[in-house]
Amino acid sequence: NAGVMQNPRHLVRRRGQEARLRCSPMKGHSHVYWYRQLPEEGLKFMVYLQKENIIDESGMPKERFSAEFPKEGPSILRIQQVVRGDSAAYFCASSMALSFTDTQYFGPGTRLTVL
Partner 1 sequence: TQLLEQSPQFLSIQEGENLTVYCNSSSVFSSLQWYRQEPGEGPVLLVTVVTGGEVKKLKRLTFQFGDARKDSSLHITAAQPGDTGLYLCAGGAGTSYGKLTFGQGTILTVHP
Q: Which residues bind partner 1 (CB under 8 A)?
A: 4, 6, 31, 33, 35, 41-45, 48, 55-56, 58-59, 91, 93, 95, 98, 100-109, 111
CB of 112 to partner 1, least distance (A): 14
Burial of 73 (0-12, 13-18, 19+ CB in 10 A): exposed
Distance CA 87, CA 4 (A): 22
| Least gap, CB of 91 to partner 1 (angstroms) | 5
Secondary structure of residue 86 in the 3-state scheme: helix
Closest contact distance (angstroms) between CB of 93 and partner 1 is 8
CB of 9 to partner 1, least distance (A): 9
By C-beta, is 66 or 105 nearer to partner 1?
Answer: 105
Residue closer to partner 1 by CB (options 55, 83) is 55
How many other C-beta atoms are found inside a 10 Å radius of the C-beta of residue 100? Answer: 5
Please state the φ and ψ torsions of residue 27, each to the nearest 5 degrees: -60, 130
